[in-house]
């Protein structure tokens, strides 16, 4: 029982990262990604202009500050760890 909550949190974190990756894919060009993250209030959004892969970019500080957990709660993403609690 005690380990289940942390497992749910890890799954939630992976799901949010995967969705961030899909959102970055929708913003096809690096400049567009930086502009959209800037609109969302990201810290240092221009650091996302990179040739790294989308999965790697989905874990950067700029992406996490723009597409944070509050963003996903606003979009009504179902949370496994909250449902478990």
Q: Which of 7, 29, 11, 26 is nearest to 67 (CA)?
A: 26
Domain boundaries, position 25: 2-84
- Token couple for 81: 């760890």
For position 1, what pLDDT does the model report? 55
In tens digits, what is the pLDDT along the chain, a chain of 85 residues? 567 778 888 999 999 999 999 999 999 999 999 999 999 999 888 888 888 899 999 999 999 999 998 898 888 888 777 777 7
Q: Which of 85, 83, 47, 81 is nearest to 64 (CA)?
A: 47
For position 2, what pLDDT does the model report? 63
Question: Rounded CA gap, 21 and 24, in Å?
Answer: 5
Q: Cα 68 vs. chain centroid, distance in angstroms?
A: 6
- Total domains in the fold of the chain: 1
For position 49, what pLDDT does the model report? 86
For position 16, what pLDDT does the model report? 92
């Amino acid at each position: 029982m005690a380990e289940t909550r942390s497992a749910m949190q890890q799954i939630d974190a992976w799901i949010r990262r995967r969705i961030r990756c899909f959102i970055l894919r929708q913003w096809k060009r690096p400049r567009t990604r930086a502009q959209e993250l800037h609109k969302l209030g990201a810290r240092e959004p221009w650091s996302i202009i990179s040739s790294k892969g989308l999965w790697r970019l989905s874990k950067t500080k700029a992406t996490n500050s723009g597409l944070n957990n509050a963003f996903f709660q606003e979009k009504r993403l179902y949370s496994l760890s909250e449902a478990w609690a």
